[in-house]
Amino acid sequence: MPAAITLGTGPAPGDPSKASLLEVHLLPDYPATPVCLGERWGTQSTGGGFTLQDATAYRFEEHLRACGCDWLRQVANEERLSGRIFTPDEILQRRPATATPPPLTKPVPPPLPPSGTLEKIRKALADLDYEEIEGLRDVLTDELVRTVSADWSADLSWEVKDAYAALLLDQTADCVRPIFRDALASPTIESRAYAICVLTKDFSHFTGMLVNGSLDESRVAQALRLVEPA
């Protein structure tokens, strides 16, 4: 092992000129005082060797932090608990690996829905085909949600508006809020329950409205109070 291993360096705290550089070294040839804390300015330097316990004392906390050597305090605690003195090699073995930042990558655009998806959605809503609607939830994109929301109208029948609520029940974009505001008055308990979850953006409310696995009218009515007035 070399005579001194640099563990870290950093500018002295409170020195705006950064003319003074703090240093932390490991001294393999001096197992009794293996940690050297030093300071360098220009060609001049000063420092001294310390035991691991002394080097990590409170008075040197800023020195260690400035040099990125806070990890030595954890090693010192481990040494203290072990009841023995760590060798320089044992200290070095506990030095954390330098984190390597992940390579920069371009964001991957979301996959496009299969061709004809919008037409399938519109047909399923018109036909009140809930089995098809359930499968189509998995292919919704932000653009599809905006388009489908624009198709909705408060003048539609409750049967069709309930189908819209079933399709969009796990969406929280602003464009679906008018649909679910309206659904609060639906004669269908499922639509009212979905609306409470969407408008509060808290889907845990759904389980609170269940009794023996089914939605309970009184609990849904009580949960309506959670929704802020329009």
Q: What is the pLDDT of residues 90-117, one digit of tens each?
A: 999 999 876 444 454 555 566 778 889 9
Whether pTM exceeds 0.75: no
Tell me the CA distances in angstroms from 113 to 98, 119, 152, 219, one per residue in order.
Answer: 42, 12, 20, 37
How is the chain split among helix, strand and coil, in percent rounded to 5?
A: 45, 15, 40
Confidence of residue 59 (pLDDT cuts 50, 70, 90): confident
Q: Would you kindly state where each structural domain of the chain is located, as residue ranges?
A: 5-93, 117-226
pLDDT for position 100: 45
Specify the amino acid at residue 112.
L
CA pair distance 29, 31, nearest whole angstrom: 6
Report the 10 Å Cβ neighbour count for 168.
24
Segment 185-219, tens digit of pLDDT: 999 999 999 999 999 988 888 888 999 889 999 99
Instruction: Examine the pLDDT at 16 and tell me if it is beyond 70.
Output: no
173-189 in b/e form (b: 16+ CB < 10 A) is eebbbebbbbbeebebb
